[in-house]
Chains A and B, each alone.
Chain A
C-alpha cells in the first residue's frame, strides 16, 4: 500500500560527509556491483563499449565548484543516492503499490513484480534517486542494501550498505537516526548535518555534512618579502624590445 507509515520504529539512513569525500567514485562502483549481482533486476548498461554508453546507477557522484565572496574557490564532491525521505513523494504517487516505505526501518523500496514502469515516482523525486532500467522496464532505486544489512551469512563488518563498506575516505556512515546515541545522530548534531532541498517538504532521512571552513593562509613563506627579485629590468634584446614597444 502506497500510504506512508505514520512513524517508523527505526530510521535507517546515511550520513555523507562532503568535507571528507574525495570524489573517487568507489561507492558508485561497489553499489552497481552489489545491486547488479544480488536483489532484484540487474542494473543494465546500454551500449557500454560503444560511442554512447549509458546505464542504470543507484548512486552518482557530482562535483561542484563553490566560490565564496572572498578567498579561493572550493571543489566539493557530492555523492547522491536515495535519501529515504520520511514524507517520500515517490511512494504516494505510485498507482500499483509497488513503491513502499517500511514501517520497521523506514527503508523505501520497490516491489519489482508490481511495478508497471510508468515512471511517475521518478518524476515525483526531486533528487533523481530513481532510475528506470531500460532493459527490465522497472524502477530501480537504492535499497540501503537491505540484502546486506540484515544478512547473517555475511561477517558482521560487512552488514552495512556496499557504498559505506567500500568508501576509502570514511565519508559515508550508516545507522539509525531514531537513536540519539547512534554514530549518525551524533555526527549530524556535531557537524550541522543538513537536508537537501528542504523546501520540497520531503523530510529526507539522509543527512549531508557541510565542508568545514578552509584554513586561512596569510603568507606562504615569511622570508619571501626579504628576498630581492633577481631581475628587475630586462636587458639586452628584451630590454631594447621593451623600450621600443614603449615608444610606439
Chain B
C-alpha cells in the first residue's frame, strides 16, 4: 500500500493525541489552570492536526462533512463521528477545568472513552480489509490501541504506567510483524484463486493490461523500500519502544522526558510507514506481484 504522508501523520499524531486525551479525561495527571491548558493544548494540536492532515489526501476535501453520514456501515464514518464527539466532550471538560477550576469527572470519563473509541475506529478502517491480509486481524486494533495508550501515558507523564505499557505495546508490535509476514500466504488468496485458472495448472502473469503503470499499482502495489524493512523495523523498535523505556527508567528530568517523547514519536512514525509500505493488497496478484 502507498505510504501516503498525510495518512502516516494522521494516524501517528491523532493516535498519540487521543491517547493523551484519554489519560487527561481520567484526571491523570490531576492538573488545573495553565498547566492543564498546556497539556490539553498539546493533545488538541496532535489530535486535530492529525485529523486535518488526513483530509490532505482527499480528492474533494470540501465535501468532507458528508463523511459523518454513514456511521451505520462505515468505520471511516464512525471514526469521524467519534473524533468530533471526543473533541467536543473533552473541550467542555477542559474548558471548565482550565478557566473555572471545575472538574466534572463523568464528563472526563465519557471523553476518555470516546477518545479510545476514536483510535479503535481508526484501527478498524484497516483491520476490516480482507483485501490486505497483513491488516486483517484483531492484532491491528490491539497494536494501534496499545501504541496510543502507552504513548499517551508517556506524554501525560504517567511514568510508572508507561514503564509497563510501552513494553506491552512493543511485544504486540513484534507479534504483529511476525504474523503479518505470513498473512498473505495464509489468507488462501493467490494467483490461482484470483484468476480461477489454478485447476488447469500453474498460473503466471504473462502480460499486464498496459505497458505503463496505473492508479492500482501506485496506490495498492507499492513495493519501494520493502528491501530495507528489517533495518527500519529495528529503527522503529529502538526509537519507538526501547529508548523511551530506557530514558524514563533514568532519574526523572524534563529534558529526558521530552527526548523520550520525541524518540517515541519518531519510532512510531517509522513503524507506521512500514505499516503501509509493507502491506500487500491482493490485487497485486493479478499483476503477478505482491
Contact = CB atoms under 8 A, between A and B. Distances in A.
Decide if A and B are genuine partners.
yes
Interface in A60-113: 60-69, 73-76, 78, 80, 89, 91-98
A6 to B, nearest CB: 14
Contacts of A9: none
Nearest to A117: B59
B160 interface: no
A89 B281 CA distance: 14
A115 B283 contact: no
Contacts of A195: 196
Contacts of B206: 63-65, 75
B214 A200 contact: no
B212 A54 contact: yes
A126 B200 contact: no
Given A54-B213, A64-B206, A66-B201, A1 B70 contact: yes
Given A60-B209, A128-B286, A197 B193 contact: yes
B195 A78 contact: yes
B59 to A, nearest CB: 2
A120 B125 contact: yes
Interface stretch (A133-141, A149-157, A170-178, A215-223): A133-141
A210 B130 contact: no
B286 A66 contact: no
B85 to A, nearest CB: 16
A123 B203 contact: no
B189 A124 contact: no
B89 to A, nearest CB: 21
A123 B132 contact: yes
B128 A93 contact: yes
A210 B76 CA distance: 38
A64 to B, nearest CB: 5
B205 interface: yes
A167 interface: no
Interface residues of A, number: 68
A210 B196 contact: yes
A132 interface: yes
B228 interface: no
A199 interface: yes
Contacts of A179: none
A2 interface: yes
Given A68-B200, A132-B59, A126 B80 contact: no
Contacts of B187: 199
Residue of B194, B203, B282 ringed by the most chain A CB atoms within 10 A: B194
Contact of B76 (A66, A80, A95): A95
B253 interface: no
B75 A93 contact: yes
Contacts of A115: 59-60, 63
Interface stretch (B92-100, B177-185, B215-223, B257-265): B215-223
A116 interface: yes
B1 A123 contact: yes
A128 B209 CA distance: 12
Contacts of B66: 95-98, 114, 116
A115 B201 CA distance: 41
B88 interface: no
A62 B209 contact: yes
Contact of A119 (B67, B77, B132, B219): B219
B254 interface: no
B227 interface: no
A119 B131 CA distance: 14
Contact of B74 (A66, A73, A92, A196): A92
Interface string B8-30: 00000000000000000000000
B33 interface: no
Contacts of A52: 212-213
B200 A211 contact: yes
5 contacts: A64-B205, A96-B63, A117-B59, A126-B282, A131-B214
Closest 3 CB pairs of A and B: A117-B59, A137-B59, A60-B209
Given A66-B203, A137-B58, 18 more contacts: A2-B73, A2-B74, A57-B214, A64-B206, A67-B204, A80-B209, A92-B73, A95-B66, A116-B67, A117-B58, A119-B59, A123-B129, A126-B189, A136-B59, A196-B194, A196-B196, A199-B187, A199-B193
Interface of A: 1-3, 18, 28, 52-57, 60-69, 73-76, 78, 80, 89, 91-98, 114-120, 122-128, 131-132, 134, 136-139, 194-201, 208, 210-211
